Each structure stands twice: as C-alpha cells, then as structure tokens.
Amino acid sequence: MAQTQQLGSTGLAKVSKTDAEKAAALRWMKRFALSLLLFMAVVFCVAFALEPQYPWLAYVRAAAEGGMVGALADWFAVTALFKYPMGIKIPHTAIIPNRKDEIGVSLADFVENNFLSEAVVAEKLATTEIAQKIGAWLAKPASAQRVAKEGAAALRGAMAVLKDEDVKDVIEAMVRKHVLEPPWGPPIGKVAERIFADGHHHALVDLLIDRSTTWIRSNHTTISGLVTDRSPSWVPQFVDGMVGDKIYAEIYKFARAVQDDPQHEVRLKLDEYLKDLAQELQHDPAMIAKAESIKKQVLGDPEVRDLAARTWSTIKTAITDAAEDPNSELRLKFTSVVQEFGTRLIEDSELADKANKWISDAAAYLVGTYKHEITSLISDTVGRWDAVETSQKIELQVGRDLQFIRINGTVVGSLAGLAIFAVATLIFG
C-alpha cells in the first residue's frame, strides 16, 4: 500500500493509506475537543470579568467553569492511557506503554477463553454448512481447474525438493525388504498350484503347441537338413532324404496329435510335471534353494540399484510432464474428480453431513490442542513491539472515538456546573 508522510501527533513516520486517513481524523477530533476547551475558557473569562455588571453571567461562568473541569479531567483520562500527561510521570498514567506485555497476555487469554473454545467453534461450524459451500465452489469448472493448477504446482515443487538419491535409497530398501528378502519359492509355488489346479495354464500350453506345430509345418527343409548334416558320409544322399522325410512326417504327425487331443499323454504328463513343480517350490528345500539362486542371479546389488534408479526416473518424469501439461490425462482426470466431488457434496446430504462432522471434529481438536500456541502469537507479537509504538498504534485505531469522551466531558461538565450553581443559588441565595 502507498506510504504517506509524517503524521504529526500520532508520531508514526510511515503508515498505510487507511492509517493516514485515521490519523487525519484523529488530529481533527483532537483539535475540535481542544477548541471546545478553549471556547469554555474564553466564555469563563468574559463572564467572570462582566459578572459584577451583569449578575446573570454567574450562571454562564458556572457552566463554563464546569465545562473546563470536565474537559481537563477527560483530557487527562484519555491522555493517561497512551502517555504521561504533559510529560509528567504521574502514577497510573501511560498505562498502555507501561503495561504493554500484560495487555498482550490479557488479550491472548481473552481470545483463548472466549473465541478459541471447542464448544464455540463446534457450534459455529455446525450452522455454517462448510461442506456444501466448498462443494458449490468446487463444482464450478474454473474452481476445479484452479485446484488442479495449484495441485500441479505443489506436485512440481515436491518433485523439485525431493533428492533423487534419497528416493532411490527408499525404493531400493523397499525392493530389498518386500521382494528380495522373502523367499520366492513358496509364494510362487502356491500361486502356481492355484493356477494349475484351475487349469488356467492350458491356454498357454495350447499356444505353445500351436506355435510349435506351425513351425514344424513350415520348416520341412530345416528338419530334413538336420538328418543329412548328422548322417555318415558313406550313406547315399537319397537315403538321407528318405530318412529325413520320414522323421519330419513323424514329428509333424506327433505334434498334430498333441495339438488335436486335449487328453493326449504329453499334455497329461506336462500337467503332472507342473503340479509336482508347484509342490516342490513350496516344500522341497533343494528346489527352494534353486529358486533363491536364480533370484540372486537375476536381481543382484547392481540390478536392484539400477531398477530403483530407472523406476524413480520413470515415475518422476511421468509425474512432472503430466503436472506441467494442462491437457494431460492426469490434470484432466484430477479436474474432473474435483468437480464430481463438489457436485456430490451438494447433492449427497449424507456425504455432506459426514464432511461437516469431520471438519467440525478436526477444528475442535486443533483448537483444543493448540489454542494456547495460537493465542501466544498475540502475546508474543505484542511483547516484541516497542512500548511507544504500541501506544501509538492503539491510539491510531481507537483514539478518534476516545476524543468523544473529551467532547462529552466538556458538554456534561458545563451542564453539571450550571445545575450545581443553580441549585446552590436556589437553596442558599
């Protein structure tokens, strides 16, 4: 906010525009109250001087005298709040500068006991319907987009703050704890046993047999060539060809038989072997040890570290790119979810009631647990303020209204002085 020049009697060098307006109003009220005092003084002097000639001026003099007394008394009372009257250190004056810290503590206690009460907060929140208001705001497309934008900014900030090495260490530790340390054999065997028992592996077996049969059918020359390559050199070439063709035909015939017959002996033997393997992985120490050996060969220290690095790099890149792109699937989906949640808060009264209850309980817990820490901000802030500056700040806020005390004191004092003099005159003559 714009800064303004020196503000005279307030003693504050630079304040906001609003404070400048308050300071100007305070100065005007002080001058008006002082003008009333001076007016009463002039009236008193004139009435006192002319009273011998005009006896009725005794009533005017009494009114002016009472007005001066009231004005001076209230000037003293108002001034004593903020500073020593005329610089004289009279006891129980300059109350605010001298008792600044006590005032701060008292103000903090007042706020804590009367505003930061669990009952007060809960009662206020119970009638506010915060969830419905939040829902109405979130249901607006612009609001949902704003939430998504701020969430994306927070996500990017988190990605920037996180140290890659620390995250990699966490991922590596999790992989070691949950993947490497537990033995693989028993859990794999248990899963395999369930798969084999339910026959889910048959589709894979069918695929392998179909592919094998197709390959055999398409590679007659390759299979026949294997016979020729391994045949002795003294065997005639036509014999190699006949043998190769015969072997190819038998292999293809066998493959077709396995392919066409779901109950073929090869299939049954394969099922039996797989089921035995599942049992051995669970109960055979030798097979369990072999599975552990394979695990260590596949996932040694370098592999695990590389896996952690690649995993984090992939996740970080994906999240960062999605957060930066307003049209990314993540941003669009998040925006849609926010809008849907806002609409549900409006339309689903049960959900809104639960949300309001949660908000109320959370606020009551925070207030009940941390209200002293919250209100200590008041006492600590006031404690750090300079005594004179504190007095000036408070006077700037309430001083204009306090000047009405001086004005009223002048008026009431003059009326009281007139009434007292009139009554005394009436009684004693």
411 pLDDT higher than 90: yes
Closest CA to 267 of 204, 198, 219: 204
Q: Does residue 60 belong to any structural domain of this protein?
A: yes
**Look-up of token digits 């020196």:** 6
Q: Does residue 142 belong to any structural domain of this protein?
A: no
Residue 292: pLDDT band (50, 70, 90) is confident
The DSSP string of 355-398 is HHHHHHHHHHHHHHHHHHHHHHHHHHHHHHS-HHHHHHHHHHHH
Give me the mean pLDDT over the 383-398 stretch. Answer: 81
Residue 333, classed as helix, strand or coil, is: helix
- The per-residue pLDDT for 63 is 93
- The per-residue pLDDT for 61 is 92
Segments forming the whole domain that contains residue 188: 177-299
Q: What is the largest CA-CA distance in the chain?
A: 168
- The per-residue pLDDT for 64 is 92
196 pLDDT higher than 60: yes
CA atoms within 13 A on the CB side of 266: 12
Classify residue 23 by burial, with Cβ atoms within 10 Å: 0-12, 13-18, 19+.
buried
Alpha helices in 219-236 (DSSP H): 220-230
Q: Does residue 323 belong to any structural domain of this protein?
A: no
283 pLDDT higher than 80: yes
pLDDT in tens, 212-222: 889 888 887 88
- The per-residue pLDDT for 248 is 81
pLDDT in tens, 338-374: 889 999 988 888 888 888 888 888 888 888 888 888 8
Q: Percent of the chain having pLDDT more than 70?
A: 91
Residue 72: pLDDT band (50, 70, 90) is very high
19 is written with which tokens? Answer: 């404070």
- The per-residue pLDDT for 3 is 38
Residues 6+ away with beta carbon under 8 Å from 395:
10, 26, 81, 82, 402
Closest CA to 308 of 188, 168, 412: 168
**Pick from 248, 278, 299: which residue ends a domain?**
299
Q: How far lies 368's CA from each of 119, 123, 126, 364, in Å?
A: 10, 14, 17, 6
Are residues 182 and 290 both part of a single domain? Answer: yes
What is the pTM (predicted TM-score) of this model?
A: 0.50
- The per-residue pLDDT for 7 is 41
Q: Does residue 188 belong to any structural domain of this protein?
A: yes
240 pLDDT higher than 80: no
165 is written with which tokens? Answer: 């090495």
133 pLDDT higher than 50: yes
Are residues 181 and 282 both part of a single domain? Answer: yes
Q: How does the average pLDDT of the chain come out, rounded?
A: 82
How far is the C-alpha of 58 from the C-alpha of 53, rounded, in Å? 11
Closest CA to 312 of 153, 151, 120, 174: 174
**Pick from 299, 329, 350: which residue ends a domain?**
299
200 is written with which tokens? Answer: 């889910």
The DSSP string of 38-106 is HHHHHHHHHHHHHTTT-TTHHHHHHHHHHHHHHHHHHHHHHHHHHS-GGG---TT-SHHHHTHHHHHHH
pLDDT in tens, 298-324: 666 676 677 777 887 888 888 888 888
Residue 12: pLDDT band (50, 70, 90) is very low
Are residues 77 and 184 both part of a single domain? Answer: no
Q: Does residue 89 belong to any structural domain of this protein?
A: yes
Which uninterrupted H or E stretch holds 411? helix 387-428
pLDDT in tens, 134-185: 889 989 989 888 888 888 888 888 888 878 788 778 877 887 777 777 787 8
**Pick from 266, 299, 332: which residue ends a domain?**
299
Q: Does residue 73 come out as left (phi exceeding 0), alpha (psi in the -120 to 50 range) or beta?
A: alpha
Total domain count, the chain: 2
Mean pLDDT is highest, among 53-67, 162-176, 240-254, 296-310, for: 53-67
Q: Does residue 191 belong to any structural domain of this protein?
A: yes
Q: Does residue 356 belong to any structural domain of this protein?
A: no
Q: Does residue 120 belong to any structural domain of this protein?
A: no
